[in-house]
Amino acid sequence: MIIHQPGIIRQNGYSILWTKIEIEKGTGFFPEYVWYRVPEPYGAYFTTQNDAFLVPGIVCGMVLGEELEVRGNVSPKLAYHLEEYQHILNFRFPDLLQRVNVDYERLAPLAVKPKAVGTTFSGGVDSLFTLWNHLPQNQPDPDYQVTHGLFIKGFDILHTAERNYRLLYDQYVLWADKIGLALIPIETNIVGITHKRLPLSYFHGPHILSCGISLGGLFQRFFMPSSWDYYCLRKKAYSSDPLVDPLLSTETLDIIHHGATHRRGEKIEMIADWELAQNILWVCQEHKFEIAGWNCSRCDKCFRTMIPIFVLGKLDKFKTFAKPIKSNYEGLRWARKFSLRHDFFTEMFPFIKKHKSDFLPWLRGAVFLGIIRNFLVTNMPGFARKWLRRFGYYVTRNEAPDAYEMAEITQIIRDWNDTPPTRNT
């Protein structure tokens, strides 16, 4: 695999950081170019260091079993730690990923002194918790106070869902302004290099972090909000946790995986009284923005967020749930979309026992019914699933091999490559 020297295109108020990744063995769709795009004022912080493409690129190389040739500059610190990073990923996923050699053209640190502190910001519980903990009122050290949030398009929100993305962004930016946070909309197709090759839920780490690394001229520190706490991490291995994420730091960018010290219920408790969280919390898996509220209040993630808020007696303050729970009895609705996959319900019992014990029998009922339903759903025969797809069941948004692509950007890069004299790097 060759990761070519990145380039920058400035056009129509946007900057695109792009490169070409050449693979030898892969079959199926592979992006012609990989890129990140931000509005113009932030384009000045893009750097042509190859770190942002190498981080997700190495995972792609590992899944394809291809040695990497990296053209251009790479951070020596990143290069040093990638050896251990590869070892850990291979140790955790020996059937999926193998260690590969990386040949660097040049090892040199970025010659900038960035000042900002960033975090990925999706509006979910984890990113709100990380942001809350790094506001001036909770974090006295200015070097650790978050100044910028990255709102990514091309990750959980696809490029085809421009309307939804815009809807969220417009609200986020209003609230971000109130707390002095600069919200940066960043678009990318980087997930496309491992899409259909690796499950995104396990391998989201390098993709998200690469967005922070791409703005190397801006960030001296970047927080990756933890999806899983130390209890969960003991049982399951991912590509993002407090051990592996910092290994992707560079000389100028310190990456911190934040929040694994708190269980999801504890995070919700911490942000429950925060007006910003009450107004913009977005956790829904269904992306049904046309209904009132951003959160459908029917999916598993909506429920496992609503229930702790309900037992804390603060659900009425949260404006983004379409159908908030109003009584204990309504907790039974969780059974409908209950999933055993993430094991959040084991932490929920002690939490509810502590805050609203009269809700406990209803929750037990929901879990009991939910387990039966979950068993039936997961054991549904293939032909039945196929049939149900016509009604919208068992359909995922990112099924297409090119789900993370944006043809318009690919065309811009193609055109730019075809017209060398007007290049503007």
Partner 1 sequence: MILHQPEILRQDGHTIVWARIELSVKQENFPETLWYRVPEGYEGNLSLHSDAFLVPGLLAGMQFGEDIEVRGAVSPKLAYHLEEYQYVLHFRMPEDVKPVEIKYHQLKSLNAKPEGVGVTFSGGVDSLFTLWKHLPQNQNILDYQITHGLFILGFDIHFTEKKQYYQLLNSYQLGGERIGISIIPLETNIVQIIVPRLYYPHFYGPILAGCAHVLGGLFKRFYIPSSRDYHQIRIWTSSSDPLSDPLLSSDSLNLIHHGATHRRVEKIVEISRWKFAQDHLRVCFNKEYDESGLNCLRCEKCTRTMVPLYALDVMGEFATFKKPFRTNRDGLWVARKFNPSQGYVPETIQFVREHKPDLLPWLIAATLFGTIRYWLLKMIPGFLKKGLERFGYFVDPLKEENAFEDPAIIQLIRKVSSCF
26 binding partner 1? (CB under 8 A): no
CA nearest to 27, candidates 188, 203, 196: 196
Among 180, 230, 327, 414, which residue sits at the site for partner 1 (rule: CB under 8 A)?
Answer: 230
- Tokens representing 257? 């995986």
| Residue 84 is a binding residue for partner 1 (CB under 8 A) | yes
Shortest Å, Cβ 271 to partner 1 = 18
Strand partners, 255: 222
Looking only at Cα atoms, what is the longest distance across the chain? 72
Of 191-199, 206-214, 239-247, 301-309, the segment contacting partner 1 by CB under 8 A is: 239-247
Taking each helix axis from N to C terminus, what angle separates 125-133 and 264-271, rounded to the nearest 10 degrees?
A: 60
**Stretch 40-79 residues interacting with partner 1 (CB under 8 A):** 76, 79
Q: Give helix 264-271 / helix 345-355 axis angle, nearest 10°.
A: 50
CB of 388 to partner 1, least distance (A): 40
The pattern of x and - marking residues 123 through 142 that bind partner 1 according to CB under 8 A reads ------------------x-
Task: Find the binder of partner 1 among 23, 135, 200, 243 (CB under 8 A).
Answer: 243
82 phi/psi in degrees, rounded to 5: -65, -25
State yes or no: residue 80 binds partner 1 (CB under 8 A). Answer: yes
User: Between residues 87 and 166, which has the closer beta carbon with respect to partner 1?
Assistant: 87
Is there binding between residue 88 and partner 1 (CB under 8 A)? yes
- Which CB, 144 or 394, lies closer to partner 1? 144
Q: Which is nearer to partner 1, 37 or 262 (CB)?
A: 262
How far is the C-alpha of 210 from the C-alpha of 205, rounded, in Å?
Answer: 8
Told to check if 418 binds partner 1 by CB under 8 A, we report no
Distance CA 124, CA 378 (A): 26
State how far the Cα of 254 lies from the Cα of 256, in Å rounded to an integer.
6
Beta carbon of residue 415, minimum distance to partner 1 (angstroms, whole number): 39
**Residue of the chain from 242, 266, 319, 323 that contacts partner 1 (CB under 8 A):** 242
Evaluate whether 131 touches 146 at the Cβ level (below 8 Å).
yes
Nearest-Å Rg of the Cα atoms of the chain is: 22
CB 73 within 8 A of CB 50: yes
Taking the complex as a whole, the smallest distance from the CB of residue 247 to partner 1 amounts, in Å, to: 9
Could you say which of 143, 275, 343, 399 contacts partner 1 (CB under 8 A)? 143
Is 101 a binding residue for partner 1 by CB under 8 A? The answer is no
From 22, 83, 177, 316, residue interacting with partner 1 (rule: CB under 8 A): 83
Pairing mode of beta strands 182-188, 34-39: antiparallel
Residue 152 CA neighbour count, 13 Å, CB half:
27
Q: Does residue 96 belong to the site contacting partner 1 (CB under 8 A)?
A: no
Rounded CA separation 121/404 (Å): 19
How are beta strands 68-74 and 14-19 bridged, if at all?
Answer: unpaired
Give me the least distance between CB of 103 and partner 1, in Å please: 12
Residues of this chain that bind partner 1 (CB under 8 A) = 76, 79-80, 83-84, 87-88, 91, 107, 141, 143-144, 230, 242-243, 246, 261
